[in-house]
Amino acid sequence: MPPTSPQRPESFDAVVVGAGFAGLYALHRLRGLGLKVRVYEAAGGVGGTWWWNRYPGCRCDVESLEYSYGFSPELEQEWVWTERYASQPEILAYLEHVADRFDLRRDIRLETRVESARFDEARGLWRVRTEDGGEAQARWCVMATGCLSSPNTPDLPGAERFKGRVLHTGRWPHEGVDFAGRRVAVIGTGSSAIQAIPLIAEQAARLHVFQRTASYTVPARNRPLAPEEQRKVKADYRAFREGARRQLAAFYMDPRDQSALEASPEARRQVFEARWAAGGARFGASFRDLLTDPEANRTAADFIRDKIAGAVRDPRTAALLQPRQPFACKRVCLDTGYYETFNRPNVTLVDAAADPIQGLGETGLRTAAGEYEVDDVVLATGFDAMTGALSRIDIRGRGGRTLNQAWAAGPRAYLGLMSAGFPNLFLITGPGSPSVLTNMVVSIEQHVDFVAGCIGHLAGRGLDVIEASEAAQDAWIEHVGEVAATTLYPGCNSWYLGANVPGKPRVFMPYIGFPAYAARCEEVAARGYEGFALGRTGAEAQPA
């Protein structure tokens, strides 16, 4: 469709930015309210994360039966997951199926990046401009732009001279990448790298892994999903979903209510061994105080460090792979054969903390100590998380103030849903909500349902403006920080704190605890959207 002239913006009730899990569900739900909706998506297809991240080994680490929408019982019943942890192609196929099944595509403009969104105060409308010169106006603007959608790419001086390929895991070529016979460098050892490295190592002639910080990783123990297992869940999917929503991270971790320090060393080891053997994130819930008590935390860290020493033959490499930061204060990864990969003769671990990467030359990667000749560089360097995609849009609220100005000292949003001064602008899984510390599909559905409920509430009262109050926002941000301070999370340089992006303010962004958060949202809604001001365009807004 040709872009509309800037003088004549297309009119919608709602504009949604992004067509991943969040944008697709937002479109479906808002349509259900009778709204005319337009979705803009920068990618060439729907799926968000699962459209962009196509690196070898990419899959979810929340089990497939949980990492899926719960809004449609029919969809739940008809879709068949083939593995405990679905692969990227399977999740993408699922989201494409959702787009077709709910007839979503006709309202989605692909390959259309939103560059600005400005609030027209007089008319109470958001004016959204796209890079192709198009413009739309809408009462509601929903940012479903993703927490992990804006790649973090390190500055590599000399990159323009490098003759090989530079690839980012979050922008992987669709035609796939053949590493056969190539000398490859992987930069980073977070979740993406840990999934990709064992598979790249099988193909490449040589693989150098540049590690700045070692991660804790637990075996995924991925396997085909037994039909019986699937049948059992499908027999009462509602109860299964409701149970998940009662879990701290909105998926089943099977938490044990015992302190790691109460158990004898032998009993403790047995618990860790059993969870290590079962595989998956439940290892992190082996004891109740792993994330709150440094001593308890050390027991889990020591257990994994022992496992690494047992798995990796070269003692120097094993020592380097042993993480030093507290267990789980950076995201714990799940892997398939990661540590064992370092026993391969074609794989070398490089200590990029001791010998930092300085840039690229024509034929390789430069560090202070020398040059590594490589054909391909894989950046598994993560994302400008939680705020990156929003900060790249010129968002202007009341008085022309930009979101970047309002968030200069760190993101500020009430419930992670709305930022004061930006009426009618909803953030799906925004900073200050449980988001990345949960099964994100559950958090996305909870947010979209809240937004739909809120718009329905306003419409039923002849109102059309809602805005977070500064006071409620301040109190919420303080609360998010207080909860984080009861844990070991803020104690290391994680992307939860923005520490992976140079110059980004250090603020712990996600809210810890889905059940308490969801209960708070319900309470806020039941009290007529407490903490928000509600109003009608042209009239003074009233506190709820």
CA 544 to the chain's CA centroid: 32
- What is the total count of residues that contact ligand NAP (CB under 6 A)? 27
Structure tokens that stand for 224 in this block: 């085909």
Residues 66-95 that bind ligand FAD (CB under 6 A): 67
Strands (E) in 288-369, as ranges, are: 333-335, 347-351, 357-360, 364-367
Question: In the set 68, 149, 211, 446, which binds ligand FAD (CB under 6 A)?
Answer: 149
List, in sequence order, every residue forming a beta bridge with 357; answer none if it has no partner.
Answer: 367
334 binds ligand NAP, rule: CB under 6 A: yes
Residue pair 67/60 in contact by the 8 Å Cβ criterion: yes
Q: Which is nearer to ligand NAP, 424 or 494 (CB)?
A: 494
- Distance CA(534)–CA(542), nearest Å, equals 5
Residue 393, contacted partner among ligand NAP, ligand FAD, none, CB below 5-8 A by kind? ligand FAD
Out of ligand NAP, ligand FAD, none, what residue 145 binds, judged by CB under 5 to 8 A for its kind, is ligand FAD
Residue 386 CB, nearest approach to ligand NAP (Å): 11
193 binds ligand NAP (CB under 6 A): yes
Q: Report the alpha-carbon distance of residue 256 to residue 411 in Å, rounded.
A: 34
Distances (CA, A) of 131 to 1, 41, 42, 114, 151: 14, 11, 10, 6, 19
Q: Which one among 20, 45, 56, 190 touches ligand NAP, defined by CB under 6 A?
A: 190
Nearest distance from C-beta of residue 251 to ligand FAD, angstroms? 8
Q: Specify the residue for token string 């449609």.
A: 72
By CB under 6 A, tell whether 217 contacts ligand FAD: no
Q: Which of residues 382-441 bind ligand FAD (CB under 6 A)?
A: 389, 393, 428-429, 439-440
**Residue 525 Cβ vs ligand FAD, minimum distance, rounded to whole Å:** 21
Cα separation, 438 vs 444, in Å, equals: 10
Rounded distance, CA 445 to CA 251, Å?
14
Residue 192 interacts with ligand NAP (CB under 6 A)? yes
Q: Does 381 bind ligand FAD (CB under 6 A)?
A: no
Q: Tokens 């714990």, residue?
A: 332
CB of 152 to ligand NAP, least distance (A): 6
Which single residue brings its beta carbon nearest to ligand NAP? 190
Task: Decide: is 442 part of the binding site for ligand NAP (CB under 6 A).
Answer: no
List Cβ neighbours of 340 (8 Å cut-off, separation of 6 or more).
198, 311, 312
The answer to the question of residue 142 lying near ligand FAD (CB under 6 A) is: no
Whole-number Å distance between alpha carbons of 200 and 226? 29
Residue 443 token pair: 């958090």
- What is the spatial distance between Cα 464 and Cα 456, in angstroms, rounded to a whole number? 10
Residue 66 beta carbon to ligand NAP: minimum distance, rounded to whole angstroms? 12
- Select from 304, 380, 466, 524 the one that contacts ligand NAP (CB under 6 A): 380
> Which 2-31 residues touch ligand NAP, going by CB under 6 A?
none
154 binds, among ligand NAP, ligand FAD, none (CB under 5 to 8 A by kind): ligand NAP
Place of tokens 């962004």: 509
DSSP state for residue 5 in the 8-state scheme: P
Q: In the bound complex, what is the minimum distance in angstroms from residue 246's beta carbon to ligand FAD? A: 17
Q: How many angstroms separate the CA atoms of 38 and 14, rounded?
A: 7
Cβ proximity to ligand NAP, 220 vs 524, nearer residue? 220
- Cβ 169 to ligand FAD shortest distance, Å: 7
Structure tokens at 237: 């999917």
Of residues 251, 338, 495, 517, which one binds ligand NAP by CB under 6 A? 495
What residue type is 21 in one-letter code? F
DSSP, collapsed to helix, strand or coil, labels residue 14 as strand
Q: Tell me the window of 21-29, 70-78, 206-214, 353-361 that interacts with ligand FAD (CB under 6 A).
A: 21-29
Contact string (CB under 6 A) for ligand NAP, positions 208-237, x = contact: --x-xx------------------------
What is the three-class DSSP state of 11?
A: strand
402: Cα separation from own chain's centroid: 24
In the bound state with ligand NAP, the residue whose beta carbon lies nearer, of 189 and 341, is 189
Asked whether the beta carbons of 424 and 119 are under 8 A apart, the reply is yes
What is the spatial distance between Cα 303 and Cα 273, in angstroms, rounded to a whole number?
A: 9
Q: Which stretch binds ligand NAP (CB under 6 A): 26-34, 227-235, 379-387, 398-406?
A: 379-387
- b/e map of 255-275 (b: 16 or more CB within 10 Å)? bbeebbeebeeeebeebbeeb
Contacts with ligand FAD by CB under 6 A lie at 17-23, 40-43, 48-49, 51, 53, 58, 60-62, 67, 113-114, 144-149, 192, 389, 393, 428-429, 439-440, 444
Q: Give contact residues for ligand NAP (rule: CB under 6 A).
A: 60-61, 148, 154, 169, 187-193, 195, 210, 212-213, 331, 334, 352, 357, 380-383, 436, 495, 500
